[in-house]
């Protein structure tokens, strides 16, 4: 059975990247481990928190490729340990999030069994431009001929 794409219409050319992104999201949404929260902690700040109890710093990796944030955890079985009851499994996981253009990962920290990943959306700098107005009439007094001679652009810090 062949896969029929939603984006296979000839009117939707160039949307193959969106289709691949949706496929990645669908595949990563199937597993509920580890549980996570996403919270807004500021006007332009988000935090993803994953419950990774039992994992150490060297057993966790956080990577960002294109717009996909991937968190991996791999616990290694300790040889020689004898369990009478094993309710906490040493389990591997991979959790992926697709993040929007412009979002930056600012920090990742492990705190009391929770892995916190901080995300920031930087405010774009506001640009103000003063454009000289010229007179387009050839004998119009003291006007400059042709295009404007000077464009003054300044960048204003958003904070």
Residue-level pLDDT at 3: 59
pTM for the structure as a whole: 0.62
Q: Could you tell me the pLDDT band of residue 148, with boundaries at 50, 70 and 90? A: very low
Length of the chain: 159
Torsion of CA 20, 38, 72, 112, to 10 degrees: 180
Structural element, H or E, at residue 39: strand 36-42
Asked if residue 143 lies in contact with residue 159, where contact means CB atoms within 8 angstroms, the answer is no
């Amino acid at each position: 059975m062949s896969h029929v794409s939603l984006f296979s219409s000839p009117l939707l050319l160039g949307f193959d990247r969106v289709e691949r992104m949706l496929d990645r999201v669908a595949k990563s949404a199937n597993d509920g481990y580890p549980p996570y929260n996403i919270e807004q902690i500021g006007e332009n700040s988000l935090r993803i928190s994953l419950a990774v109890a039992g994992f150490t710093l060297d057993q966790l990796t956080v990577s960002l490729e294109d717009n996909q944030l991937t968190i991996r955890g791999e616990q290694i079985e300790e040889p020689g340990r004898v369990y009478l009851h094993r309710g906490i499994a040493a389990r591997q996981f991979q959790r992926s999030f697709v993040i929007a253009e412009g979002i930056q990962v600012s920090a990742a920290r492990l705190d009391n069994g929770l892995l916190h990943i901080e995300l920031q959306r930087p405010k774009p700098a506001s640009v103000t431009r003063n454009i000289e107005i010229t007179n387009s009439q050839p004998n119009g007094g003291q006007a400059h001929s042709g295009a404007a001679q000077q464009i003054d652009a300044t960048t204003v810090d958003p904070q």
